Amino acid sequence: MTAQIIDGNALSRQVRADVATRAASLTARGITPGLAVILVGENPASQVYVRNKVKACADAGLHSVLERYDADLSEAALLDRIAALNADPAIHGILVQLPLPRHIDDHKVIEAISPAKDVDGFHIASAGALMVGEVGFKACTPYGCMKMLESIGMANLRGKHAVVIGRSNIVGKPMAMMLLAANATVTVCHSGTADLGVFTRQADIVVAAVGKRNVLTADMVKPGAVVIDVGMNRNDEGKLCGDVDYAGVSTVAGWITPVPGGVGPMTITMLLVNTLEAAERLLPA
């Protein structure tokens, strides 16, 4: 068996084309979706992520504002800036790029963002809305994963068993909640779970999101399973790779996401979707 590839680049282009069409329609009605991105410090990876997000906005017809601050920016000053953006009618989404410098409390910053502009989906109100099935913003990476499952005909997961490897608030927990909302049976593990393969070999869907190379190998996968690789690592040659032993697992799985070109493009795409939806909610009913 050779797994079919879930092409994140191709799916991303489809979704972004729809975003561009909807954004143009909004702009014609006097509302240009606007995203404010805040970067504190000089983290190289964060700079790349932010640059890609700003470019994606421009390509889709969204207005974006990038605000860069030195690493010594005070927490109080950052909170004041977020308050101003909360009140700015031209800004529909606010994203503070993580990680932040150690002297700034990530949680306090995230909770300072208005839930109506929390397009990263990290606010406690967004998590609560997801839990009870109310309208809110979904965290972008798990949202992108769900879109990838939908693209292969797995929108409703009733009767399916999903295993999420990774318990972080950014991916693991919201991923589990979204899978539950799609009617899957969900098991959450982490890289230190004893006999991890006992769980993954039962799974119809495995989502690997721990940031550890080869956490999932071929002998740990049920034949025909869907494997979604959220990891971002470097191999011994310095090339980008995921959490999954791609060469081995792709001989067993039915579907698999590559790294790069899998979940990554969809994460940015769902940020655009969330920003667009934040603007669309301003339209009269």
The structure tokens listed for 27 are 């702009």
Alpha helices in 29-161 (DSSP H): 44-60, 75-86, 106-112, 124-132, 140-151
239 catalytic residue (yes or no): no
| From 118, 120, 204, 229, active-site residue | 120
Instruction: Report the SS3 class of residue 154.
Output: coil
| From 7, 14, 18, 53, active-site residue | 53
Best CA proximity match to 228, nearest among 252, 199, 259: 259
| From 97, 118, 138, 243, active-site residue | 97
Paired strand residues for 241: 233
80 catalytic residue (yes or no): no
DSSP string, 224-278: T-EEEE---EE-TTS-EE-SB-HHHHTTT-SEE--SSSSHHHHHHHHHHHHHHHH
70 catalytic residue (yes or no): no
The structure tokens listed for 179 are 């899978």
Q: What is the dihedral of CA 120, 122, 126, 130, to 10 degrees?
A: 100
Place of tokens 């990680």: 99
What positions carry a catalytic annotation? 53, 97, 120
